Amino acid sequence: MQVSFSPPSITDSEINAVIQVLKSGWITTGPKTREFEKLLSEYCGTTHTLCLNSATAGLELVLRLFDVGPGDEVITTPYTFAASSNVILHCGAKPVFADIKPDDFNIDPEQVFKLVSKKTKVILPVDFGGLLCDYNELKNIIELKKTKFRPKKNTLQQELNKILLLSDAAHSFGSTYNKTRTGTHADFTVFSFHAVKNLTTAEGGAITYGPLKFTDPDQILKKLKLLSLHGQSKDALDKMKSGGWQYTIETDGYKYNLTDIASAIGIEQLKRYDSEIIPPRKRIVEFYSSGIKGHVIYPLFQTESKQSNYHLYPLRLKKPENRNRLIELLAADGIAANVHFIPLPRHPLYAKLNYDIRRYPVADNCFQAEISLPVYPGLTTEQSNYVVERINVHLKQL
C-alpha cells in the first residue's frame, strides 16, 4: 500500500471555481481575491487582510513596513522552516534564535525574555504544527521591555512604541488560543496557503491584523498594497477600467500579489475547512495517538487554553538513534514520513553566519527524535490502520 505524506484536499468545488475564473475574463488579482480577503477577515475575527503569493512575502512585507533593517534584531525560533528567518536576513536585520519548549516545540518565552536587547525590534514566533505559541507571555515580555524600546524614524514603530509581535501562522490557520482564532493574538499574523498547508491555494499567503491595533488600519493596508505591487497607486484591475490608464509609482515595491485563480481555490477551501478539512485530520491524529504503542512521546494538540488545527503529527521516539531507520523502514513499506524541522543552525547558511546548534539543545533534541506522520483528509481508514500497524511492528523490532 502507498501512503503519501500530504496531498492537497481538492474537490469538484475547487475545480469548478477555477474554471469559472478562467472563463470570467479576469484571472489575476481582482474580485475573487478581494472576496477571499473579506472571508478570511470574517473567519479570523480581524478587520484587515491582504492576500499575497506566499507567507514568505507576507512576513517580509510586514518587516519592510516597519523599516526593520541593519542594526535591528528579530527574535525567532530556530525550529522552523527557513522562510521565517530568511526574510529577516533579506531586510539586513539579525535573526536571534530563542530555544523552544520540549512539550510543544514552540518558542520558549523565558528564552525570549533573556534575549531581548535594545536592538530588538520584532518578536516573530512560529505556531509549530498548528498549536499556538504562548502569546500572552510574549505580550507580557513586550510590555515589561517597553521602557527600553527606541523606535526608528518610522511612523508605525513610533505609534506602536514597543517591540512588534509578528506571528508566523503558516501552520496554524483556524487554531485557537483562549477560544479566539489565530489572526488576533499578534500585531500582525501571516498565513501560508502553500500546497502542503491545511488550507491551500497551491501557492499563496495572507497578512491579517486588527481590530483596534492601530489608529489608521486602512492606511496600513494601503501601504502594504503598495509594497506588494511595484509601489503602484492602482492595481491591474483599476488600470484596465476604461479611462483608468493613469497611475503613479510611489515606492520601489515588490511583486507579491495573489491571482484570482488561486483565491477561487482558497474561497472553496475555506467553505470546507471546518466541516471537511479539520474533522478528518482530528480523527487521524487521535487514531495515531491511541494506536501507536512503544517508547514514544505523543504530540500535543490541546491544552487548557489552546486548540490545534492538527496540521502535523510530530511523533518523537524516546530512542532518537532509531529515527532515521524508522523512516527508511516506513519508506520500504510505501509510507512517506517527514521531519519537522531541521533546526536552522544545522543548515550551512546559518552555520556560516556563526549560529551554533549547541546553543539550542531543546530544539536539537526535538529534531533528533522527531518523525512527522501523514495527516490529510484523503487518508483512508485502511491507510491509517496500515501506518499504525507498520510503525508498531518496527518500534517493537528496533
323 binding ligand PLP? (CB under 6 A): no
SS3 73: strand
Min separation Cβ 128 and ligand PLP, Å: 7
In this structure, what is the dihedral angle of CA atoms 67, 70, 71, 74, given to the nearest 10 degrees? 60
* Window of 1-9, 94-102, 109-117, 167-175 that interacts with ligand PLP by CB under 6 A: 167-175
Among 41, 84, 175, 182, binds ligand PLP (CB under 6 A): 84
Of 134, 136, 132, which is closest to residue 170 (Cα–Cα)? 132
N residues, the chain: 398
Q: Which of residues 180-219 bind ligand PLP (CB under 6 A)?
A: 192, 194, 205
Residue closer to ligand PLP (CB basis): 167 or 384: 167
For residues 55 and 164, which CB has a smaller minimum distance to ligand PLP in the complex?
Answer: 55
β-bridge pairing 306-307 and 176-177: antiparallel
Looking at residues 114 to 133 of the shown chain, list those that interact with ligand PLP (rule: CB under 6 A). Answer: 126
Instruction: Give me the least distance between CB of 344 and ligand PLP, in Å please.
Output: 11
Total of residues contacting ligand PLP (CB under 6 A): 14
CB closer to ligand PLP out of 106 and 157: 106
Q: In this chain, which of 145, 162, 171, 185 binds ligand PLP, going by CB under 6 A?
A: 171
Phi, psi angle pair for 263, to nearest 5° = -65, -35
Residue from 14, 134, 168, 370 that binds ligand PLP (CB under 6 A)? 168
Q: How far is the CB of 170 from ligand PLP (least distance, A)?
A: 3
What is the per-residue burial (b if ≥16 Cβ within 10 Å, else e) of 75-109? bbbbbbbebbbbbbeebebbbbbbbbbeebbbbbb
The interface with ligand PLP within residues 32-71 (CB under 6 A) comprises 54-56
Q: Where are the beta strands (DSSP E) in the chain?
A: 48-52, 73-76, 94-97, 120-124, 164-168, 176-177, 180-181, 188-192, 205-209, 296-297, 306-307, 314-317, 370-372
User: Could you tell me which stretch among 131-139, 163-171, 235-243, 249-257 binds ligand PLP (CB under 6 A)?
Assistant: 163-171
CA pair distance 68, 70, nearest whole angstrom? 7
Which of 83, 207, 330, 366 is close enough to bind ligand PLP by CB under 6 A? 83
DSSP string, 78-103: SSS-HHHHHHHHHTT-EEEE--B-TT
Return the number of the residue (257 or 322) whose C-beta is nearest ligand PLP.
Answer: 257
Q: 52 phi and psi, to 5 degrees?
A: -140, 175
The reply to whether omega before 301 is within 30° of 0 (cis) is no
Rounded CA gap, 146 and 167, in Å? Answer: 19
Q: Is 81 in the site for ligand PLP (CB under 6 A)?
A: yes
CA distance readout (Å), 64 to 119, 154, 207 = 16, 10, 13
Decide if residue 78 touches ligand PLP (CB under 6 A): no
Please identify, among the stretches 4-12, 164-172, 267-275, 388-396, the one whose residues bind ligand PLP according to the rule CB under 6 A. 164-172
Please report whether residue 314 would count as binding ligand PLP according to CB under 6 A: no
Where does this chain bind ligand PLP (CB under 6 A)?
54-56, 80-81, 83-84, 126, 168, 170-171, 192, 194, 205
